[in-house]
Amino acid sequence: MGLDSVAYFILVLISMKKWVVAAKRADFARIGEKFNIDQVVARIIRNRDIIEYDDIDEYLNADLSSLYDPTLMADMFIAIDIIKEKISDNKKIRVIGDYDIDGVCSSYILKDALGSLGACVSVEIPHRIVDGYGINESIVERAREDGVDTIITCDNGIAAFDAIRHAKQSGMDVIVTDHHEIPYDLDEAGNKRFRFVDADAIINPKREDCPYPFKGLCGAVVALKLITALFDDYKEEDPVGYRNLDTEKYLEIAAIATVGDVMELKGENRTIVKEGLKRLNHTKNVGLKALITKKKIRFGEIKAYHIGFVIGPCLNASGRLDTAKRALQLLEQTDESKAALIADELDSLNEQRKELTQRGVDEAVGMIENGELKNDRVLVVYLPWIHESVAGIIAGRIREKYNKPVFVLADGEECVKGSGRSIDAYSMYDEMCKVEELFLKFGGHPMAAGLSIKKDDVDTLRRRLNELCELTEDDFVEKVIIDVPMPFSYITEDLINQFSLLEPFGNGNPKPVFAQKDVSIRFAKLVGERKNVLKLKLADQNGFAIDAVYFGDMDHIRSQLGDDFENNKMIQSKKISALYFPDINEYNGIRSIQLRILDINVQKG
């Protein structure tokens, strides 16, 4: 079966997942020839909705020169003038961040960069339990008592009306740098009327009046844009005196924040992560070195995956279970032995976080399966006992299981607090705005949100969200997009090497998915101490055999192949459809092509 057959693969509905072939058309041969890439790679790029040749060239070859001018952001020049004046007058500047990975990275970038300019700068990161999210009046009051003249927020502040009003009334200047949605009211016609805090400068690409071309930046990159514009301004005034100012050293931090905050890896974000990973693999940051070493990640092989699933969770863990200042201290550390101790602490906290998360997931699933929640289109799960810091992670796991919007709520010190995770068809922030009178505080994105609510209003929230929900059953079926139906015989080491041109993979730029039907299983064996890895020998319909490995849900495999599939000769007579990604397995110096199996489905008939 050739690669040109668009209708080659039949839609498969299994475990509430629909396998769908991407059928986007283009002249793949011409694209491949022009950019010296395989037609399969050309297809994958087209499937990412990258169509024009200039856009393909940027996708394949973008570097720092392709990043947008930071002065395109609204209020950027105002912020620069304020900061330069405060540095010149030796006024106290306080950076106020947030307790998650984006907030910590934003805080580090601003503090380190302003410090390099000689600013009298300090950082305050709210405590999740004591302070809650972002800047508040008590944090402002502490700043006033410390003689702070100017506040710069990062990764927060866009909705902090009371706190920023208090800061202004206390005689402070305020610069907001943020990336969250701008709060709004709906008029009688349903039109949005945006509300802005009373800050001296508001730098947020999501402002409707902001001409900056790319809106999907994380908070740390918004902070980096401010620092880049500020450094450029100093260099323009005195090229010799400020020639050592360097923003590139912050790219690895910005990359960590971008991946850790699950931003879409498109446009500037993908370029920043791509360039940041180059530097992270040779980082000079003592704290990051210690954490990478602790987690036994090989330098030179660090990918976006390691940020999202290894490094990022450790940096996030301190803000969840202790104080995010520990993560900030790691980034700032210059002593190797002290950095190693902090890395150990963060790793230990992350292990605790994993245990709490699993307990919460298990209880949430039990509540859904054994109660009324299972029939809800929007899941509002109230788990009073859980640590509020893991509510978002639990919500994400539940969203993955049921493919529904999920809010997980927990008892805070004074009210119920929670986090939400959504699906593509449901804009969580917009839906929350429809019931904003129920919240004490809320904010977020279409795909995620945070909230505070009175305990008595929890049931009302569940009822109202479901009454207003317009999702259909089809929205709850997870769609797995197949990039290319590809026979095993087409796979070569050169093709696999070309896949690196598509990296970094992540949200918005997923790892390619390939498929083949009419596959025979010639060998299957569970390996590993816990028998949680499946080794396979597969053959496609042309008889081309290849090694494969599966690390997924073994209960799903047994549901497909039978409980005793290892010893059951009958599986050799079965035909399966397989989703896979090819890679290179290297063992004892021998390299061989191996498939990473993503899912299988036994074909009927």
Sheet with 448-453: list strands edge to edge: 379-382, 406-411, 416-421, 448-453, 439-444
Cα 272 from chain centroid?
14
Interval 202-208 mean pLDDT: 97
What token pair was written down for 451? 């909230």
pLDDT of residue 14: 45
Confidence of residue 570 (pLDDT cuts 50, 70, 90): low
Contacts by 38-42, CB closer than 8 A, 24 or more apart: 38/494, 38/495, 38/498, 39/3, 40/3, 40/484, 40/486, 40/490, 40/495, 41/495, 41/498, 41/499, 41/501, 41/502
Closest CA to 315 of 337, 281, 282, 290: 290
Q: Which residues contact 196 (CB under 8 A, 6 or more apart)?
A: 182, 202
Which amino acid does the sequence have at 66?
A: S
- What token pair was written down for 394? 């639990």
pLDDT (mean) for 323-347: 97
With H, G, I as helix, E, B as strand and everything else as coil, classify residue 561. Answer: helix
pLDDT score of 601: 87
pLDDT given for residue 605 in this prediction: 58
What is the average pLDDT across 118-142? Answer: 92
**Maximum pairwise Cα distance, the chain:** 81
Strand 478-482, strand 514-527: pairing = unpaired
Residues facing residue 534 across a β-bridge: 526, 550
Phi-psi region of 75 (alpha: psi -120 to 50; beta: other; left: phi over 0): left
Indicate the residue type of 479. K
Give pLDDT, residue 15.
46
| Mean pLDDT, the chain, whole residue set | 93
DSSP H or E segment with residue 364? helix 336-369
The Cβ of residue 309 has, within 10 Å, a number of other Cβ atoms equal to 10
Token digits of residue 29: 């041969």
The dihedral region occupied by 224, where left means phi > 0, alpha psi between -120 and 50, and beta the remainder, is alpha
Indicate if the pLDDT at residue 406 is higher than 60.
yes
What residue ranges in 388-455 does DSSP mark as E strands?
A: 406-411, 416-421, 439-444, 448-453
What is the per-residue pLDDT across 14-37, written as a single tens digit (0 to 9) for each?
445 789 999 899 999 999 999 999
| Residue given tokens 């997923």 in the structure block | 510
Taking the C-alpha atoms of residue 82 and residue 80, their distance in angstroms, rounded to an integer, is 5
pLDDT tens digits for 583-604?
998 888 889 999 999 999 888 7
Q: What tokens were used for 67?
A: 């990043």
49 has a pLDDT exceeding 90:
yes
pLDDT per residue as tens digits for the range 353-400 = 999 999 999 999 999 999 999 999 999 999 999 988 899 999 999 999
Within a 10 A sphere around the Cβ of 198, how many other Cβ atoms?
Answer: 13
Q: What is the average per-residue pLDDT within 500-520?
A: 95
Tell me the backbone φ, ψ of residue 234, rounded to 5 degrees: -65, -40
Q: How do residues 284-333 score in pLDDT, each as one tens digit? A: 999 999 999 999 999 999 999 999 999 999 999 998 888 899 999 999 99
Please report the pLDDT score of residue 6 as a whole number: 41
- State how far the Cα of 574 lies from the Cα of 604, in Å rounded to an integer: 9
**pLDDT, mean of residues 442-450:** 87
Rounded CA-CA distance 129/109 in Å is 24
User: pLDDT tens digits for 450-502?
Assistant: 999 999 999 999 999 999 999 999 999 988 999 999 999 999 999 999 999 99
**pLDDT for 17:** 77
Cα(404)–Cα(395) distance, rounded to whole angstroms? 10
DSSP letters spanning 502-544? GPSPBTTBPPP-EEEEEEEEEEEEEESTTS-EEEEEEE-TT--
**What is the model's pLDDT at position 562?**
79
Instruction: Give me the pLDDT at residue 205, please.
Output: 98
Q: Are 330 and 287 in contact (CB under 8 A)?
A: yes
Q: Return left, alpha or beta for 506; rule: phi > 0 is left, psi -120 to 50 is alpha, else beta.
A: left
pLDDT at 7 over 50: no
| Both structure tokens of 341 | 């101790």
Residue 361's pLDDT is what?
Answer: 97
The secondary element (H helix, E strand) that includes residue 273 is: helix 267-280
pLDDT exceeds 80 at position 565: no
Of the pLDDT bands very low, low, confident and very high (cuts 50, 70, 90), residue 254 is very high
| Reported confidence tier of residue 569, pLDDT bands at 50, 70, 90 | low
* Confidence at residue 468, expressed as pLDDT on a 0 to 100 scale: 97
Q: Compute the distance between CA of residue 297 and CA of residue 311 in angstroms, rounded to an integer.
A: 9
Q: Is the model's pLDDT at 8 over the cut of 50?
A: no
Give the 3-state secondary structure of residue 165: helix
- The pLDDT, as a whole number, for residue 568 is 65
pLDDT of residue 571: 72
Burial class, 554, CB count within 10 angstroms (exposed 0-12 / middle 13-18 / buried 19+): middle
Residue pair 188/228 in contact (Cβ under 8 Å)? The answer is no
Say whether pLDDT at 247 is over 80: yes
Q: Extract the tokens encoding 291.
A: 């954490």
Task: State what percent of residues in the chain have pLDDT above 70.
Answer: 96
pLDDT at 555: 83
467 compared with 558, residue with greater pLDDT? 467
The model's confidence at residue 9, banded by pLDDT at 50, 70 and 90, is very low
Q: What is the pLDDT of residue 322?
A: 83
Q: What is the dihedral of CA 419, 97, 230, 168, to 10 degrees?
A: 100
How much is the pLDDT for 587?
Answer: 82
Task: Considering only residues 546 and 445, tell me which one the structure prediction assigns the higher pLDDT.
Answer: 546
Contact 202, 208 (CB under 8 A): no
Residue 601, SS3 per DSSP: strand
Average pLDDT (563-591) is: 82
Helix (H, G, I), strand (E, B) or coil at 131: coil
Query: Distance (Å, rounded) from C-alpha 532 to C-alpha 289?
Result: 31
Q: How far is CA 166 from CA 128, 141, 170, 440, in A?
A: 21, 8, 6, 18
Q: Please name every residue paired with 123 in a beta bridge, in sequence order, or none if there are none.
A: 95
Cβ atoms of 223 and 109 within 8 Å: the answer is yes
DSSP state of 156: -
**pLDDT score for 567:** 67
Name the token pair of 590: 């021998």
Of 79, 94, 58, 63, whose CA–CA distance to 210 is shortest?
A: 79
